[in-house]
Structure 1
């Protein structure tokens, strides 16, 4: 059966790549997706010698090394999983190569991981913010030490103030493995971003037979993140706010740690498209 979603997994081949791919595989199991793993490396970090022959030799060696590492990473999962899984890699300007690859394969969802101190970072390149600006589809940022569950069910929380009508289809697919109760969050102070009651009600209606509970917090990421942690929520979902994109991008940046030294949110974060 053809996969419903095409999922692109960005990896930097660091120690977190295994966890990133595991999150992507579990998401694919829940919603029905195929996976492509993609790695890109800057040429300036490979070719350090002006001698052309030496530079070509370094490039060939790095190509072979990257291919082996990607093949080994994919092999770990492909033997156990029935989900279509391929890989590719490129050398060049990191952001340009990622943008070209997105245009080439047209993924529905992009999955990326976290490094120790920053959200997914290719040798200093802030790929997360770049994707938020350039990619209009869904982005899943893998959890830090907390993998997205697929077999035993998902405990899902939605940040209601950022959701809209375009979120309904993926929400239906996520609900297949969701466990009760489904949690919706709002902030007490009137925020710059609102989902219509109709949109939120449509989202809630996708969880037929499951309880839905609502919570309100002060307009602070700390309160929401603490609740996510204490209640063992396995996946936090939020939108980008449409016309209020700048506000939601700033808020997303705060809770995933792109504006701070360490990431605050440990659970996987699914950012809806726009």
Structure 2
């Protein structure tokens, strides 16, 4: 099978891990029932908690994480590739990883990715974020071989760093993934244009499940989960911030066609920077 159906699960994760597992499971089942072969959930599927102290009380080591355990069982039951966009995972040294997991249809873990870029910003509306105060940044980009194509993994703020996706595309990735919890302010300004730019630059599909709405910890996220085609067209979108599911058919041949029409990757050249 060359074509497959991908689904984004849009959530409004709370401060309760158990509630988030229940919300995610219902939406994953909905996606699988609609024919999805690959299902992606958003960044911080298992918990959205601004208080570091409260977060540390609620998260566990990977081998003990209840969300990951449930997702592995669900993938096996439903026979799907299940991509946990990211989970807050306690590390053995007491630090925290913002970690994505790709789970095979037999329930085994195919790939892991730790978010590289930390969202340390002060926004014009007064919002201030310091992810590096809680999370340990990753150091390695990740590719995963699905039955239909090669997929690149990233998370949220990584979207603003195109070198990650270029390196993945050069290595053969025809689908790029950017599950997110984009703030409402930055999402309104940049979410669509950045997703489309990453698709156009690399001649690749972009699949990005998002958090949406006002969360129990007080943050507001943008929603608008997207699936973008290799020519930059939005082929599926949840045009709101409510929980839900959106699906689209992915044809890997479309990535090859886009790269033949505009061979930007093949035409790349190294260069020196002068004037310093």
Place the TM-score, normalised by the shorter chain, in its bin. 0.3 to 0.5
Q: Rg larger in 1 or in 2?
A: 1
Higher share of residues assigned strand? 2
Higher share of residues assigned helix? 1
Taking structure 1 as the reference length, the TM-score comes to 0.34
